[in-house]
Structure 1
């Protein structure tokens, strides 16, 4: 492959990866965060970029660096059964149960619902949601059925249109800001950097990075590149393109949010910030522009999730269903769950994500540190054993708090105690110290044990 072809390939692959990552949540979170951070926007944004763009980049590189066939092989370094359970849980969570249906419902609520009018009845809205989801998932199915064409269909077609649409809105806001950034809200008065770190988790791209990395690696290999070093190099450069695009978009949207308070006031959600900002600058055309942005962002993410899930389960359960039938199944299941609406999807997904996120970050870190401890299984086991209890508690606590009248249960008592004794627990990073302790214990034990294969 020539240098020019190589360069074109990693740019197109990087743009495809950006589009797969960039869903509606990536628009909403920085817009809302910008309004709340106010004149602390740059400190907050630095933290947000680390977890919102940096962690996904590390996740993509980690899979390539580990030379693993897929996420299951990487997670199986803990134990084979853990590898299967963790991988299946992650794929289902960011696939047909939660994230994929959410792409359709978010796209509907931001891009379609405003055009129905405030006086539209619940029946009309429900019917419109079903019709839109049918169209949305029909498009997703068509794009997903031929994964070998993802680079051409997404990286070379959808992504440039998406980036152009976003650029029109955010550059206009940057050139003609509505006013100066307002004073930060109470939550951002102090510790804005740490707050930005936690807000970056909301994108969930670190979870998706372990899934999308396989699509990138397969796309690279489909170009005729088989040498592991070249695959890692091209995957890394594609990841840098994607993370760079994410970072630029986040900065501009965050700044637009920070300067929008003077023109549209403080809004409850990032969706409202985007909608009213688009209307402020472009009137009715602004709503259409925002609808296009959100639809393209959600569609490309849905395609990546459906494709990844279908490819994984096709490998996990060979000779059961063809790839095309897995795509059809996950598309139909996603369509079914999408009809429950956005609020229900978010309510049931948050506890699962609170459980999976710390385990995902731990796996990414272990993949990079593997050579340090010679790939000893005991280090993987001890690190996950340190991380898992707090991850379970975070998920349990989140689910428990959603139940009426359940504020004084045992889980809340444990939660109250840990807030006083465990560093970073109140900030949502309580799993960090136990994970480090587990790693240190595992590393010490590995020195006293015979060398074992990975």
Structure 2
């Protein structure tokens, strides 16, 4: 099919690239991205450099690959990434991804995390539930209003919310650089990081699962770039790829600084229970009582940008494939469902949605890698089918292992766990999909490249007969 022509034939300005990159940064960077690196720095101590390198490989490179997968294949979202396996698989995969990182897991947490870390400590215990109710009404109300007009998303996140977040965050960085709490090189590492700091950092980044978000945000980024006049698929893909590089490079820089800051806190504090506590200690050390207010603001702003991305991507993808329901109706449904989950059973739903997340992640990883390298094998459906087929077994095993004890600790669950631990390499690291996927890739690529040779051989044999 011939490419559409750009509505804007001129090269984008640097300012346009900044806004798109800023928007993508804001979509990716949630509360976990802010607090995980701080805690990693505390755990790694003087081994923070190697731990950081491992963390960057998976927490920066994998999300970048998910954006590049959208760009390379000229996709418009999750559906197109799975399309080589057929429309049914693509649609089911899209629904499961959006449901899991949307109303069943990801989006409700964008409201509960800033509330529990930033607001709840200031409230009496008896007001916690009412406080969450009010906070989440305002939070998802803002997410709905920002996303109500698709053209507002890039402007609000790229020009307002994300620059505000970065300004506040860099003020903390300035304090940390000008008056460091201690020397990162002199801090003791925890046992796990003394001998395997790179690999433990690698696993910490892998477990952020930001690659899923990158696939979901693809439709939002592509739509935003179109609004700048880059409607030609090839032009849109180039802008999307460049924005992905700029955004993830900025995220990587912030990770390095956060991990270093986390390490320096060990001069004053012990290793904290989690990154939220560690970040609170950091800002309180520098700013006293105002520090907690700053932390609450940082978490709320960064979670709001992610929430906007998730609800908008959900509505855009579902409206595209179920067009009888309008974008705004899907948007309202997503916000209401996320509000309900956040207030009436988040913990229970997380227990049962986490297994789905563990089931989907191996598929997302292999589809991202296949998409990035798809020009090498012409997006051959056979290659896709073999890789995804071999990935299914470890994905199912990961899902069963993540279920609540009533399933995972049953005789059936324990039998599968034993099989997984003894048969699949890297199972203890949560990467048991790698070896089966590699086998599927070898078989699929072998078939793809040998098929023409075999075809010519058969043709020659037929002619001789």
Q: Map of 1:30-429 to 2, 5 A cutoff?
A: 30-116=37-123, 120-121=124-125, 123-181=126-184, 182-319=187-324, 321-340=325-344, 343-344=347-348, 346-399=350-403, 402-403=404-405, 407=409, 409-429=411-431
Task: For 1:393 and 1:417, locate their aligned partners in 2 and report how far apart those are by CA, in whole Å.
Answer: 9
Distance 1:347 1:32, change over 3 A: farther
Task: For 1:445 and 1:159, locate their aligned partners in 2 and report how far apart those are by CA, in whole Å.
Answer: 47
> Which has the larger displacement, 261-270 or 154-163?
261-270
Task: For 1:245 and 1:345, locate their aligned partners in 2 and report how far apart those are by CA, in whole Å.
Answer: 33
Task: For 1:94 and 1:403, locate their aligned partners in 2 and report how far apart those are by CA, in whole Å.
Answer: 23
Task: For 2:342 and 2:30, locate their aligned partners in 1 and report how far apart those are by CA, in whole Å.
Answer: 15
Q: Are the counterparts in 2 of residues 174 and 255 from structure 1 also a CA contact under 8 Å?
A: no
The question of 1:28 aligning with 2:26 is answered: no
Q: Are the counterparts in 2 of residues 106 and 342 from structure 1 also a CA contact under 8 Å?
A: no
Structure 1, unaligned stretches of length 5 or more?
Answer: none
Task: Please list the CA deviations of residues 240-272 of structure 1 after superposition, one character each: whole Å capped at 9, or x if unmatched.
Answer: 221012111111111111111221222101110
Alpha-carbon deviation of 1:423?
Answer: 2.2
Task: Please list the CA deviations of residues 263-292 of structure 1 after superposition, one character each: whole Å capped at 9, or x if unmatched.
Answer: 122210111001111111100111111111
1:19 aligns with 26
Structure 2, unaligned stretches of length 5 or more?
Answer: 1-7, 454-465
Distance 1:231 1:406, change over 3 A: closer
Question: Aligned match of 2:444 in 414, 433, 442?
Answer: 442
Alpha-carbon deviation of 1:99?
Answer: 0.4
Task: For 2:411 and 2:349, locate their aligned partners in 1 and report how far apart those are by CA, in whole Å.
Answer: 25
Give the aligned length.
444
TM-score using structure 2 length:
0.91
Give the alignment's Cα RMSD to 1 decimal.
Answer: 1.9
> Which has the larger displacement, 202-211 or 135-144?
202-211
Alpha-carbon deviation of 1:344?
Answer: 4.1
TM-score using structure 1 length:
0.93
Q: Which has the larger radius of gyration?
A: 2
Q: Are the counterparts in 1 of residues 400 and 407 from structure 2 also a CA contact under 8 Å?
A: no
Alpha-carbon deviation of 1:450?
Answer: 7.2
Q: Are the counterparts in 2 of residues 79 and 381 from structure 1 also a CA contact under 8 Å?
A: no
Alpha-carbon deviation of 1:330?
Answer: 0.6
